[in-house]
A and B are shown apart, each in its own frame.
Chain A
Amino acid sequence: MSQDTVVKNESSQPNKEKPKWDELLLKTSMPFLAMFTALLIGAVVLLLLQVNPFEAYAAIFVGVFGSVSGLTQSLVKATPLLMVGLGICIAFRASVINIGAEGQIILGALGATSWALAFKEWPAWALIPSTLVVSFLAGSVWGFIPGYLKARFKVNEILSTVMLNAIALQLMNMLVRGPLIDQAGVAAGTYLAQSEKLPETSWLARLIPQSLLNTGTFIAIGMAILVYIFLWRTTIGFRIRAVGLNPDASRYSGINVPFYQALSLTLAGGFAGLAGAIEVMGVHHRLLEGITSGYGFSGIVAALFGGLHPLGLIPASWLFGSLLVGADKMQRAVQVPSALIDVLLGLVVLFVVGSAYLSKKWAANRLSNSKKANGAQS
């Protein structure tokens, strides 16, 4: 679009609402453009590896949308992405970058497993909610540590959360091979690195027979709505967003910036912890190695793709949940390693953050153009 046409459009329609719609369209189309570019580059990589990209991408698509099981699996994978992404949204809104979701998921899963196994005899109505709360608290501890270190010592939260991920991973490996190990596996001599099966009273109900889809998905969607209300309808949420939008102005107006940044990281940890609990209580019914499946990182991608908005995150996490399922199916159908998906995710992140500047610049350009046009009219 040349600048002249933009000016003409603006001058013929000095309607104030219209540019906003344009902006929204631009904002929502940017991630898709980023995705398209990533797929294009991914295709080039595949060609270089002498793999037919159409075959690979078709396998992803058919794998997800070709069967009911594909669809339910995509929802199962979308659930932790949504939960993790909500935490990431809250943190990003306070301009804190939470890379620690992997570790926070682990802590949540550890908390849920230990709690549910410790109070086996409790009825479901007491055990399920209390386990969820414990997992939220456990995850938020892993968010509070980097939050506190940032607020108190100005420690870069990206680095501290990455380190905490590694520590959490070792902690889980240690516990799941030691105190938490499934005694049945020990008796059978397999020593599988997994915990004992959780009591049935702690399981989240399955929604469709023969599938892993469980009520955790509804919990996640409910949380998305809650987070939306929290960020846009409460004072604390407003302050968190203010801190992110303009830390200096927030400071001058009396908002305790480090406190709200630490708080946002703590909450982010809590939501990632819930994701871990849902994996344990709804999907696997026990703690096992590799419980995070990289959701801590793919959740970041979903959050960025969803425009860091809790409601935008719902479709975005479903999209990426589908991609993850499709990648597994592709690996089996056409023997293309599912690592391809990590390549695509990385590219999507790069292009989404890269394009943010373009849309900002276009918006600014248009604004100045429309000002010029209005000036010429009057």
Chain B
Amino acid sequence: MEQVLSQAVLVGIITSAIRLATPYIFASIGEAFSQTSGVVNLGVDGIMLVGAFMAYYVVLKTGNVWFAVLAAMLVGIAMGLLMSFISVSMRAEQGISGIGLYMLGLGLSSLLFKVLVGSVQTIEGFKPLDIPFLADIPVIGEIFFKNSLPVYVAFLLIPAAWWFLEKTTWGLKIRAVGQNPAAADSLGVDVIKVRYFAVTFGAVLASLAGASLSTALVNLFQENLTAGLGFIAVALVYFGGWKPVGILVGALLFSTVNAFQLWMQVLGVDIPSDVAVMLPYLLTIVALVAVTSRIRPPAALNKPFDRGEN
């Protein structure tokens, strides 16, 4: 047990946790935008998979991570518009349309991978980027300031999302159509347009979450790379009470559990790996039980908006 809790291991766990939080943060913040506007997008995992594959494929072919980011954003826009069309314009049952999007993403990413790549190959993705001076601080520098760019962007996304949702007119509109679309509509807010924006923006972040996984964290792609990470990201939005800071706490909690689990396996601590892999999923259920009865979701969550015209 002494070895487990040595300083080196603790630093290792925290460093991994910071890195591993990245895709959770991207995806959950994206989902928070979507849900704040009243649309549950359960297709996050599917969007992540396609985004992860496209980014990976672009790096594999061009070696340029910026093209990869661009490709992932395009994937997000396309899949976000599709989700918006089905869930907002066609007022579909959001739980089911999200599952449809998930299946589409899972299938599409596997199909593309098998046809275009075929075998698992690693790529050279984002390189670690030391922040001058800060990276030299002992321990702290190693944990926080020697990461790759997507990690920094993810953490900057938290205050940015808070500012956008709470302090800008667009943020107000997104919150308004999620709380009371009829009232927002009567004040001249275009409910459909705002929801399209929020869902599509959320999908772009989900796609970037996938890209961060395949080009900055593991630097490879394989079938079902995310293994349900996107669904945990959706759960984190509930856990975080639709607030960016709450989401950050949730994302760190999960990534810490994940990092702990990985390090335990590395150190050869005797817990069956299957049990260790179960942990994050069990934790999700426990977390949902703990918070769900205490939080209040956006009032119009999951309710398609219909002006009642024909």
Please list the residues of chain A having a beta carbon within 8 angstroms of any beta carbon in chain B: 45, 49, 51, 97, 99, 149, 153-156, 158-160, 162-167, 170-171, 173-174, 178, 297, 300-301, 304, 336-337, 339-350, 353-358, 361, 364-365, 368
Q: Is A365 within 8 A of B114, CB to CB?
A: no
Task: Name the one of B100, B234, B277 contacting A346, with C-beta atoms under 8 angstroms.
Answer: B100
Given the contacts A160-B285, A297-B103, A304 and B110 also touching, CB distance less than 8 Å:
no
Q: Is A346 within 8 A of B96, CB to CB?
A: no
Q: Is B281 within 8 A of A167, CB to CB?
A: yes
- A-B residue pairs in contact (CB < 8 Å), sample of 28: A49-B116, A97-B95, A97-B96, A153-B292, A154-B292, A155-B285, A158-B95, A159-B234, A159-B235, A159-B238, A160-B285, A160-B288, A163-B282, A167-B281, A337-B114, A339-B110, A342-B103, A342-B104, A345-B107, A346-B103, A346-B104, A346-B108, A348-B100, A349-B103, A349-B104, A350-B82, A353-B97, A353-B100
Q: Is A350 within 8 A of B86, CB to CB?
A: yes
Q: Which residue of B lies closest to A345 (CB)?
A: B103
Q: Is A300 within 8 A of B99, CB to CB?
A: yes
Q: Is B100 within 8 A of A347, CB to CB?
A: yes
Is B8 among interface residues, defined by CB-CB distance under 8 A? no
Expressed in whole angstroms, the Cα–Cα distance for A363 and B293 within the complex equals: 39
- Shortest distance from the beta carbon of B161 to any chain A beta carbon, whole Å: 21
Q: Which residue of B lies closest to A347 (CB)?
A: B104
- Shortest distance from the beta carbon of B108 to any chain A beta carbon, whole Å: 5
Is B156 among interface residues, defined by CB-CB distance under 8 A? no
Residues of B contacting A339 in the complex (Cβ-Cβ under 8 angstroms) = 107-108, 110-111, 114, 223
Residues of B contacting A153 in the complex (Cβ-Cβ under 8 angstroms) = 288-289, 292-293
Task: Name the one of A45, A160, A341, A349 contacting B100, with C-beta atoms under 8 angstroms.
Answer: A349
Is B310 among interface residues, defined by CB-CB distance under 8 A? yes
Residues of B contacting A340 in the complex (Cβ-Cβ under 8 angstroms) = 107, 111
- Shortest distance from the beta carbon of A347 to any chain B beta carbon, whole Å: 6
Residues of A contacting B112 in the complex (Cβ-Cβ under 8 angstroms) = 49
Is B120 among interface residues, defined by CB-CB distance under 8 A? no
Q: Which residue of A lies closest to B93 (CB)?
A: A353
Residues of B contacting A297 in the complex (Cβ-Cβ under 8 angstroms) = 99, 103
18 A-B pairs besides A171-B278, A339-B111, A350-B86 with CB distance below 8 A are A97-B93, A159-B288, A160-B285, A162-B231, A163-B232, A163-B284, A170-B277, A174-B274, A337-B111, A339-B108, A347-B100, A350-B100, A353-B92, A353-B100, A354-B85, A354-B86, A357-B92, A365-B310
Expressed in whole angstroms, the Cα–Cα distance for A166 and B238 within the complex equals: 19
Expressed in whole angstroms, the Cα–Cα distance for A357 and B110 within the complex equals: 31
User: Lowest 10 CB-CB distances: which A-B pairs, in order?
Assistant: A342-B107, A346-B104, A349-B100, A346-B103, A339-B110, A174-B274, A343-B107, A353-B92, A354-B90, A350-B100
Given the contacts A337-B111, A340-B111, A346-B101, A174 and B42 also touching, CB distance less than 8 Å:
no
Residues of A contacting B108 in the complex (Cβ-Cβ under 8 angstroms) = 45, 339, 342-343, 346
Total number of residue pairs linking A and B with CB closer than 8 Å = 156
Interface of A is mostly: helix
Q: Which residue of B lies closest to A346 (CB)?
A: B104
Q: Which residue of B lies closest to A365 (CB)?
A: B310
Residues of B contacting A49 in the complex (Cβ-Cβ under 8 angstroms) = 111-112, 115-116
Expressed in whole angstroms, the Cα–Cα distance for A365 and B115 within the complex equals: 46
Given the contacts A350-B97, A350-B104, A353-B96, A155 and B111 also touching, CB distance less than 8 Å:
no
- Shortest distance from the beta carbon of A93 to any chain B beta carbon, whole Å: 13
- Shortest distance from the beta carbon of A64 to any chain B beta carbon, whole Å: 19
Q: Which residue of A lies closest to B111 (CB)?
A: A339
Task: Name the one of B96, B277, B282 contacting A349, with C-beta atoms under 8 angstroms.
Answer: B96
Q: Is B281 within 8 A of A163, CB to CB?
A: yes
Residues of B contacting A355 in the complex (Cβ-Cβ under 8 angstroms) = 90
Expressed in whole angstroms, the Cα–Cα distance for A356 and B115 within the complex equals: 34
Is B242 among interface residues, defined by CB-CB distance under 8 A? no
Is B275 among interface residues, defined by CB-CB distance under 8 A? yes
Q: Is A346 within 8 A of B111, CB to CB?
A: no
- Shortest distance from the beta carbon of B284 to any chain A beta carbon, whole Å: 5
Expressed in whole angstroms, the Cα–Cα distance for A280 and B232 within the complex equals: 31
Expressed in whole angstroms, the Cα–Cα distance for A187 and B228 within the complex equals: 36
Given the contacts A167-B282, A365-B310, A304 and B96 also touching, CB distance less than 8 Å:
yes
Residues of A contacting B85 in the complex (Cβ-Cβ under 8 angstroms) = 354
Q: Is B46 within 8 A of A346, CB to CB?
A: yes
Expressed in whole angstroms, the Cα–Cα distance for A349 and B46 within the complex equals: 14
Given the contacts A153-B292, A174-B275, A339-B110, A356 and B92 also touching, CB distance less than 8 Å:
yes
